[in-house]
Amino acid sequence: MKKILIGIVTCCLFAISFSGNVFALDGTGEDPGFTPNDPPGTNVPDDFTIDTTYRVEPRPSNLPYTFTEHHLSRGYIVDSRWTTDGLSYYKQGDYPNNYYGADNCSDSIATSGCALTALASVVSRYGKYYNPPELNIFLGKGAFNGCLLNWITAANRLSLSYQKDDFAPNYYESTAKLKMQERVQKGYSPIVSLKCVSGHEANCEALTHFVVNYGYEMYWNDDGTGYTTYYYLHNPGGANKNEINQYMDHYYIVSLHNYGN
């Protein structure tokens, strides 16, 4: 009974997260090649059988394509994947000789340009193809306050929409992660602002860091206790961290920066 109730709650949560028609991936209503062991890492309770894989459409017409996949069992969502495409992947460390900002900042993109590099990756989805140094020049004076990027000015100069989700001062990790899911489901690739927890500076690659969340996956736990969710990242800093939970011991999520057409 506990498992069934969890399934019902999850279905309800997803039912209010999107709108539109539901189509099978192969056009027939089923994915005959899917088994509980495919893809690797998918864990399904013994009394569940995978019977359908769905793609959810339509999505907002002004955003790049979002691939959505649900693995269902007896009408309940067992696993779910949401990813956004079209990102260019830049590393700030590739630009040690390019200065960051246009207003009294003497740092290089390699040392302080994670926000700019994340932004360059995201806006490429909307046909704005600038590598970080090119984007720095394009944005120009007034788009930076010292070494800090002005997100709204950047959106205006790029002719893109901008929405910000703030989680301070009443921060809850679960709330921030749910908002990340919501943004990805709507087709955004949120730029995640991370701040080092006081006293953890020795374990933080920077006091403030920016990464791009391009998708997430939910897997049913083997013990039937619910889901484990993985939030996948493009990390401009190049550190070997590509999932948000790798940061949560030493950072907290300050805000999300969401750009669209």
Render pLDDT for 168-187 as a digit per residue (tens, 0 to 9).
Answer: 777 889 899 999 998 998 88
Each residue of 123-168: pLDDT tens digit?
Answer: 999 999 999 999 999 998 889 988 899 999 999 999 999 999 999 7
**Residue 169 within any structural domain of the chain:** no
35 and 74 together in one domain? yes
Q: Is the pLDDT of residue 66 over 90?
A: no
Last residue of a domain, one of 84, 114, 144: 84
Prior bond to 190 cis, omega within 30? no
- If asked whether residues 45 and 114 sit together in one domain, one would say no
Which residue range is the domain that position 53 belongs to? Answer: 2-84
Closest by CA to 19, choosing from 65, 53, 58, 54, is 58
Same domain? 77 vs 103? no
Please check the confidence at residue 39 and state whether its pLDDT lies above 80.
no
Does 72 lie in the same domain as 10? yes
Q: Both 48 and 115 in a single domain?
A: no
User: Domain for residue 98, yes or no?
Assistant: yes
Count of the separate structural domains present in the chain = 2
**Per the confidence metrics, is the pTM higher than 0.85?**
no
Question: Angle 166-121-149 (CA atoms, 0-180°, nearest 5)?
Answer: 50
91 and 118 belong to one structural domain: yes
Give the model's pLDDT for residue 84.
Answer: 79
Q: What is the pLDDT at residue 57?
A: 38
Structural domain includes residue 241? no
Task: Indicate the average pLDDT of the chain.
Answer: 74
Asked whether residue 229 is domain-assigned, the answer is no
Is 147 contained in some domain?
A: yes
Percent with pLDDT over 90 in the chain: 44
Q: What is the pLDDT of residue 62?
A: 52
Write down the pLDDT at residue 239. Answer: 72
| DSSP labels, the chain | -HHHHHHHHHHHHHHTT--S-EEETTSSS--TT--TTSSTT----TT----EEEEE----TTS--EEEEEEEETTEEEEEEEEE-------GGG-TTSB--SBS---BHHHH-HHHHHHHHHHGGGT----HHHHHHHH-TTSEEBTEE-HHHHHHHHT-EEEEEE--SS--HHHHHHHHHHHHHTT--PEEEEEEPTT-GGG-S-SEEEEEEEEEEEEE-TTSS-EEEEEEEE-TT--S--BGGGTTTTEEEEEEEEEE-
Mean pLDDT, range 242-259, rounded to an integer = 94
Distances (CA, A) of 227 to 102, 114, 120, 174, 231: 45, 31, 33, 13, 13
Of 159, 183, 211, the domain-final residue: 159
